[in-house]
Structure 1
Amino acid sequence: LCRVIGVHRSGFYAWLKQPLSKRAIEDKRLSGLIKQSWLESGTSYGYRNITKDLKDWGETCGKHRVYRIMKIEGIRSQRGYKRHGGFPS
């Protein structure tokens, strides 16, 4: 694997053992809060309303960060009862 990637073995294993960055730890914590807010809304809130909830709870984060975390976690808002996208049948 290291030969294919073009890195030294020692560097690869040093990278594996590296602790998570402060940002990654904070994203993980925010992910839990985002899931909590999303579930409390009945899975209907999108990133804008969840950002408002987090700000009401005293958290400091932007809507783009919330959007990115939601996309990574696979959290999506409910868009109503109609079909969205595709061709009409």
Structure 2
Amino acid sequence: HSDAGSQYTSIAFAETLVLEGIAASVGSVGDAYDNALAESTIGLFKTEVIAKGNPFHPGPYKSVEDVEYATMEWVDWFNRSRLHSRLGYVPPDEFEAAYYANLSTPQPEPSPI
């Protein structure tokens, strides 16, 4: 997904996407609504992974591989273990398991009136 910048709307870029079998997704022009989630996630990433003293990589990053490994660790933690307020401070894995367990639990039949 991208904004409507000229590099993302060029014919050459569009042709490359088609050749790779990728569908383009371009946001609306003149607002930041499409970008809010990405900006929020990037901010969290910078605070939780890139900042000094982060738990995902001790010491300075010395290579691209260091950044890639820390990013993989953070994404795994964020998607599986991080306590999200939107989920009632329950880890995503636990929340998902409870959700599917609830779907498979037979619900009581409504009583006739």
Fold match (TM-score > 0.5): no
Higher CA-based Rg: 2
Q: Compare relative contact order (CA 8 Å, sep 6+) and give the higher one, 1 or 2.
A: 1
